[in-house]
DNA sequence: TTGGTTGCAAACAATTTGCATCTAA
DNA sequence: TTAGATGCAAATTGTTTGCAACCAA
């Protein structure tokens, strides 16, 4: 395996990417941070801080609630997960795997389940809205609360 | 003044409208609720529950924090005010005067100031996003965090 | 070696609730 | 008259913080 191949492999491995992020910021690579990262990046769906604590502890039982809360902003800043605050009781988080187009959230009004939906031209739309105020978008979110049209089947 | 004129006047008066809402729901018209309503509907800008408590107390000093919190959902349900949760530390509220087109929120990333902006075709867009999931929109929100393009002047 | 990191428990801040009292209808 | 509404203070919930012990670099 060439050095170049090794480098590429490394960059393909999300955990390595996260470790490099930590190092580049002068932060330490601790067992707890790796356990929390693995739990956070593996998850299929949205999760709360408390969910993440449970999942992290299955990997490293020493993980504390405080460390989860202290790690979440780091994970978000690294771009490996996204934060989604839809105004429910707590904030939700989500692994940020391939997605690059803008995502909208649809919240089922009957069970608070969150769906992520591609909304590509949202980007342009947000920019338009900002222009009227002489501003430029830093982040944007379309959030739709909705209800199943035919609730016979759930 | 005819009876018809009197009725029209009544319906034009927001406080009367709110009182009628209370009565129609079998809720009592109390001094505190009216004071809170007046404070809430008069406000020019967004406000928090705590802001509203201060404003209400200037009208009726007996208003308690608990009553403000208990009244807010009623005010929202009456349609006289709107709730805007942009994921900042607390929820914001806003008098809902004439507006009928869809509103987007632009949050200044530098000072957390919230701007309400008309976004009429959002309505259609939200519906489109929902259709893919076999749902219909109950409420929707476009929220854009943005920054002044030329921050020389604030 | 040593400054960043951790777990713990206490602290916080926003909101909700139990209860005795009050009051609109 | 009486069920709904209120004020107060205590409780709850999600999150943050101070601090002594710990450990990655």
> With contacts defined as CB-CB under 8 Å, which chain B residues touch A104?
129
**Residues 6+ away with beta carbon under 8 Å from B47:** B40, B55, B92, B93, B94
Per-residue model confidence (pLDDT) at position B120: 84
For residue B57, give Cα distances in angstroms to B45, B93, B98: 18, 17, 26
> With contacts defined as CB-CB under 8 Å, which chain A residues touch B115?
133
pLDDT tens digits, residue range A53-88?
Answer: 999 999 999 999 999 999 999 999 999 999 999 888
Q: Which nucleotide is nearest to A30 (CA to C1')?
A: D24
Cα–Cα–Cα angle for A83, B49, B138, rounded to 5 degrees = 55
Residue B75: which of B120, B42, B123 has the closest Cα?
B42
| Burial class (CB within 10 angstroms; exposed 0-12, middle 13-18, buried 19+) of A105 | buried
Scored b (16 or more CB within 10 A) or e, B13-51 reads ebeebbbebbeeeeeeeeebbbbbbbbbbebeebbeeeb
Nearest CA in chain B to A133: B148
Per-residue model confidence (pLDDT) at position A88: 86
Per-residue model confidence (pLDDT) at position A76: 97
CB of B61 within 7 Å of some strand D atom: no
* Residues with pLDDT less than 70, chain A: 1-12, 151-154
Average pLDDT over residues B143-152: 83
pLDDT tens digits, residue range B113-143?
Answer: 999 998 887 888 889 889 989 999 998 889 9
Q: Do B147 and A136 touch (CB under 8 A)?
A: yes
Dihedral, B142, B147, B153, B154 alpha carbons, nearest 10: 60
d(CA B138, CA A108): 9
| Burial class (CB within 10 angstroms; exposed 0-12, middle 13-18, buried 19+) of B113 | exposed
Per-residue model confidence (pLDDT) at position B3: 46
Per-residue model confidence (pLDDT) at position B154: 46
pLDDT tens digits, residue range B58-101?
Answer: 999 999 999 999 999 999 999 999 999 988 888 999 999 977 78
Give the global pTM: 0.85
A15 and A28 in contact (C-beta within 8 Å)?
A: no
User: From the CA of B27, how many Å to the C1' of D20?
Assistant: 55
Per-residue model confidence (pLDDT) at position B106: 94
Per-residue model confidence (pLDDT) at position A153: 44
pLDDT tens digits, residue range B5-60?
Answer: 444 455 569 999 999 999 999 999 999 999 999 999 999 999 999 999 999 999 99
Residue in A108, A129, A144 nearest the CB of B144 = A129
CB of B30 within 7 Å of some strand D atom: yes
d(CA B18, CA B11): 10
């Amino acid at each position: 395996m060439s050095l170049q191949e090794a480098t590429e492999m490394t960059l393909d491995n999300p955990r390595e990417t996260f470790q490099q992020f930590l190092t580049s910021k002068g932060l330490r690579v601790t067992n707890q941070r790796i356990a929390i990262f693995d739990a956070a990046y593996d998850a299929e769906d949205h999760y709360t801080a408390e969910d993440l604590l449970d999942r992290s502890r299955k990997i490293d039982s020493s993980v504390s609630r405080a460390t989860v809360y202290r790690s979440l902003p780091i994970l978000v800043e690294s771009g490996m997960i996204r934060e989604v605050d839809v105004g429910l009781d707590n904030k939700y988080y989500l692994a940020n795997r391939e997605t690059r187009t803008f995502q909208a959230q649809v919240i089922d009004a009957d069970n608070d389940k969150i769906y992520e939906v591609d909304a590509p031209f949202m980007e342009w739309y947000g920019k338009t809205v900002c222009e009227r105020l002489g501003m430029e978008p830093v982040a944007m979110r379309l959030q739709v609360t909705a209800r199943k049209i035919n609730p016979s089947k759930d």
